[in-house]
Structure 1
Amino acid sequence: MDLIIVGAGMAGLCAAVEASEIGANVVVFEKQPNVGGSSLLSGCFMAFAETELQRKLAIDDSTESLMKDLQIVGQFKNDEQLVKAYCKHQLATYNWLVARGVQFQGCQAVSGHSNPRGHTIIPAQAIHTLKKQAQKNGVKLYVDSPVVRLLTEQQWVVGVIYEQNGQTQECYAAKGVLLTAGGFSQSEDLLGAFAPQLESTIRLGGEGNQGDGIKLAASVGAWLEDFPYLKGTYGFHPSSTNEKKRQSHTFYKGGIIVNEQGNRFVNESISYKLLGDAALQQTNQRTFQIWDQTVMDKGVAGDALYDFQQLYSEGLIIKADTIEELEEKIIVPKGSLKKTIASYNRYLITGDDPFGRHTLTHTYGTPTPLETAPFYAMETATAMLATYAGVRVNEHGQALNPFGEPIKGLFAAGEMVGGFHGAGYMTGSSLGKAAIFGRIAASYALQISEEVAR
């Protein structure tokens, strides 16, 4: 075997297709009975710029703008080399995905972007397409086969120990092991150790996301980073589960967010990770999205974040003919919401919003006054959906030790990698980095092994 890949989500499957197309013999081990992991639960967006789809929609965008947004949203805490690598390979990866049958449905303005560049996929279609392509190329894919240890020889990672059908077995790879095993949103032990401030969040994410890949990498000396920046994701109805996520971002179409006192407490245009932080500081962590018919009409049918009508039909959105009636229905102090909305509408005219809101999301779009009846509300909570912290890697996807040196034979990509997002998160960059760095790591693993052999 040439390359072992641990984890069959977006990063692992892209890596498998890339490596197999180069001619490598590849095996993928997946812990769960099915492939996809957290990629199937994602918000369906991938962050790309200068694409053919954008051109068809008359969206003027640039790679330079994408890179600037990534750094600003990450508060310049992200690894510049990783951001540069993402931007260098992003357009080629978009075209690569299209050429292999991944379907992009549209392009939305989403959190953290200066332009509409949230390219929408159907995760199940993308995962199925990549899996089918990998198997067509001869990739061996084993499900229900968790990797439990890495094998090393003379400080090289040379293989894995995995469990299958109740037996422990070994598998060796001549050119490296690539870990794409996801994060740890389902590990109470790791969340308790690294993110106790998120204890009250809704627990979502791939069932297998127990931090296995991070532990494997750490066992051979990998350095870890970005744990201080762990954040929840704002926008979920409190009844959300993996099977029914019930997520909405009306605030990026012009809605506002209030607490149980009926008061605003945050700039609604910032990253929903930062919104999550702010919401968790409110009394009882109880908050609401509030909007009017003008915003309701901006909903997008079938969209993971903007299908407001679907949520309304499920009884999760409260509707009222007047603001006073809405106050009664969501049980906030009488007159509080009316005062908040009046102040907000005035701030849109004067430009002196005390929370600093001037756009819909990041630097894009112009908010409109909330004045067109009927009015709407949805109780909203913060969820632990994905953990964007983990193994330190370089721009080639090589796992690094505490001294910044590559661990020979070990690579990592996807959610289990740290360093890329920094202190914030830009929508679409998770699936984007999974595809991009999955390909980069697989290609480099084969390239560097050839150079060593020579």
Structure 2
Amino acid sequence: METYDLIILGGGLAGMCAAVEAGEEGASVLLLEKQDELGGSTVLSSGYMAFAGTDMQENAGITDTVESLMNDLIEVGGGVNNPELIKTYGQYQFETYRWLKDHGVEFRTLQAVSGHSVPRGHTIDPHQGIQALYKRVKELPNVTIRFNAPAKRLLKNSEDIIDRVLYETEGESVIVAATKGVLLSSGGFANSEELLQKFAPHLEGALRIGGEGNVGEGLKMAWEHGATILDRQYLSGTYGFHPSANSAVKSQGLAFYKGGIIVNQNGKRFIDESLSYKLLGNAALQQPEGITYQIWDQTVMDQAVHDDPLYDFQLLKRRRLLYQVDTLEELADCIDVPVEVLSETITTYNNGIQNGAEPEFGRKSLTHNYGTPTPIEKAPFYAFESTVAMLATYAGVAVNSKGQVLNAFNEPISGLYAAGEVTGGFHGAGYVTGSSLGKCAVFGRLAVRNALKKEIKV
């Protein structure tokens, strides 16, 4: 039986950061990836990472603090996040940012994104990031990656320690052993109808566009050994996708964070658009047929960001997914809502924000506590049909700040660690953009360091 120091299940960002970290520490590592390529749901993401106090912020004239970042995570999370995890993220986030840069991950732009009080969305190309880490792995002879090798069960020894993994390769079952631990970085369950029906039946109407391999095996394997599952009650879809979106072409836009509004098929707003797009998604699914429209004007269109997965409105236009007209009357006709209702909606909104806050839902900012809304009045006007999608799940196994998986008594399950989307407890009831990839990198490395009994020096 093959034996390694560490076995990692899943080759998304969490797993790849863990593999590089362990490999550079001299550990023997086996990473099992069920698909024929790396990336998981990481490469389907928008590529935002949430960091504070970076050189990119400094160069943009933005003052930020770790305390502000942690406060935003807790506020948007409704105060039900695990404070230990938030504190740990704050402690190691900047060091992780520097580590990623040192390992060839390219940060491209800085944007204001959902849930942050200042621009804190550091964008990467997820494919480039994964490939940069893969390049480093291939330089490490002590790290082995096996593709098309889905893990099936975790096995315990006579001392009740998880020390082996049963996986399949080429139609055969194989058992491998780990002397330091097994790390679950296997992603979520956005493509498991069984688990979505069990945990989130209210999301039945959401599009399914998650990673092909994200069906929750890691969750089930940990569950079998007593792992506590957290945050099931907070599962939400992601708002802002065109109904034609799929895993290959996401077709997403968040014009409301640049100043647009959202209306339902009756032409009425139904929520404060500055809220987390997870909360927006919950509200949107309650609207008629789950279909809504983002409405904006040329002032917002001028804020488009080229080649950005959330803010490249010109790309949506080139894909012929936008309505563009010269008058609000024409816009109402295009999206088949009552002209008088849409006109009244926009007039009420414009008057409200010009007085400091619109009266219906109290919107005061563009996103969270950042930015000032502008009236929708400059032609041409735009509309983007939008719905909700299950792209990733933010519920999973309970972990402590060392990455150890916990049972119902908050006791570590010996030998088992987890990082990334498979974990729960970090996001709480809401979601801050960039915190998902951020926690993958931070906790993937921390779990390895604890398994190998070493500490990161900040």
Give the TM-score taking structure 1 as reference length.
Answer: 0.98
Structure 1: gaps (5+ residues): 450-454
Which of 385, 389, 409 is the aligned partner of 1:383? 389
Superposed CA deviations along residues 235-274 of structure 1, whole A, max 9, x for unmatched, are: 0000001110000000000000000000000000000000
Which of 35, 40, 56 is the aligned partner of 2:38? 35
**Structure 2: distance between partners of 1:335 and 1:378:** 19
Superposed CA deviations along residues 74-122 of structure 1, whole A, max 9, x for unmatched, are: 0101000000011100000000000000000011000000010100000
Query: 1:3 is matched with which residue?
Result: 6
Q: Secondary structure of 1:335's match? A: helix
Q: Secondary structure of 2:339's match? A: coil
Structure 2 residue 148 is the aligned partner of structure 1 residue 144: yes
Structure 2 residue 331 is the aligned partner of structure 1 residue 331: no
Query: 1:198 is matched with which residue?
Result: 203
Write the letter of the residue equivalent to 2:394: Y
**Structure 1: distance between partners of 2:171 and 2:61:** 55
Query: 2:251 is matched with which residue?
Result: 246
**Structure 1: distance between partners of 2:430 and 2:291:** 23
Q: Is the 8 A contact 2:322 2:383 kept in 1?
A: yes
1:48-67 equivalences under 5 Å are 48-67=51-70
Write the letter of the residue equivalent to 2:434: G
Query: 1:364 is matched with which residue?
Result: 370
Structure 2 residue 116 is the aligned partner of structure 1 residue 113: yes
Write the letter of the residue equivalent to 1:357: R
Q: Secondary structure of 2:420's match? A: coil
Query: 1:256 is matched with which residue?
Result: 261
Structure 2 residue 400 is the aligned partner of structure 1 residue 394: yes
Superposed CA deviations along residues 185-236 of structure 1, whole A, max 9, x for unmatched, are: 0000000010000000000111000001100111111111100000000000
Q: In percent, how many aligned pairs have the same letter?
A: 55
Q: Could you tell me how far 1:353 is from its partner in structure 2?
A: 2.3
Q: Report the more deviating stretch, 343-352 or 150-159.
A: 343-352
Superposed CA deviations along residues 303-337 of structure 1, whole A, max 9, x for unmatched, are: 00000001001100000100000000110013111
Q: Is the 8 A contact 1:93 1:436 kept in 2?
A: yes
Write the letter of the residue equivalent to 1:337: L
Query: 2:410 is matched with which residue?
Result: 404
Q: Secondary structure of 2:382's match? A: strand
Superposed CA deviations along residues 352-409 of structure 1, whole A, max 9, x for unmatched, are: 4220100000000000000000000000000011110010000000000110000110
Q: Is the 8 A contact 1:135 1:141 kept in 2?
A: no
Query: 2:426 is matched with which residue?
Result: 420
Which of 416, 435, 442 is the aligned partner of 1:429? 435
Structure 2 residue 349 is the aligned partner of structure 1 residue 341: no
Write the letter of the residue equivalent to 1:225: L
**Structure 1: distance between partners of 2:168 and 2:281:** 38
Q: For the structure 1 residues 407 and 448, does the alpha-carbon distance in structure 2 shift closer, same or farther, using more than 3 Å as the test?
A: farther
Q: Report the more deviating stretch, 422-431 or 325-334.
A: 325-334
Superposed CA deviations along residues 124-179 of structure 1, whole A, max 9, x for unmatched, are: 00000111112212210001000001111121000100100111001001000000
Structure 2: gaps (5+ residues): none
Write the letter of the residue equivalent to 2:314: Q
Q: Is the 8 A contact 2:208 2:390 kept in 1?
A: yes
**Structure 1: distance between partners of 2:73 and 2:416:** 26
**Structure 2: distance between partners of 1:132 and 1:224:** 34
Which of 17, 21, 32 is the aligned partner of 2:20? 17
Q: Is the 8 A contact 2:37 2:147 kept in 1?
A: yes
Q: CA RMSD in A?
A: 0.9
Which of 298, 301, 313 is the aligned partner of 2:303? 298
**Structure 2: distance between partners of 1:349 and 1:249:** 22
**Structure 1: distance between partners of 2:279 and 2:13:** 25
Query: 1:184 is matched with which residue?
Result: 189
**Structure 2: distance between partners of 1:329 and 1:401:** 54
Q: Is the 8 A contact 2:348 2:358 kept in 1?
A: no
Q: Secondary structure of 2:348's match? A: helix
Write the letter of the residue equivalent to 2:433: T
Q: Is the 8 A contact 2:349 2:358 kept in 1?
A: no
**Structure 2: distance between partners of 1:245 and 1:5:** 29
Write the letter of the residue equivalent to 1:199: E
**Structure 1: distance between partners of 2:358 and 2:60:** 33
Superposed CA deviations along residues 275-327 of structure 1, whole A, max 9, x for unmatched, are: 00010111111100000000000000000000000100110000010000000
**Structure 2: distance between partners of 1:307 and 1:97:** 25
Write the letter of the residue equivalent to 2:352: Y
Q: Secondary structure of 1:373's match? A: coil
1:255-334 equivalences under 5 Å are 255-334=260-339
1:140-179 equivalences under 5 Å are 140-153=144-157, 154-179=159-184
Q: Could you tell me how far 1:30 is from its partner in structure 2?
A: 0.4
Q: Is the 8 A contact 1:20 1:134 kept in 2?
A: yes
Query: 1:452 is matched with which residue?
Result: none
Q: Is the 8 A contact 2:297 2:376 kept in 1?
A: yes
Q: For the structure 1 residues 105 and 448, does the alpha-carbon distance in structure 2 shift closer, same or farther, using more than 3 Å as the test?
A: closer
Write the letter of the residue equivalent to 2:402: H
Aligned length: 449
Q: Secondary structure of 1:129's match? A: helix
**Structure 1: distance between partners of 2:177 and 2:337:** 61
Query: 2:134 is matched with which residue?
Result: 131
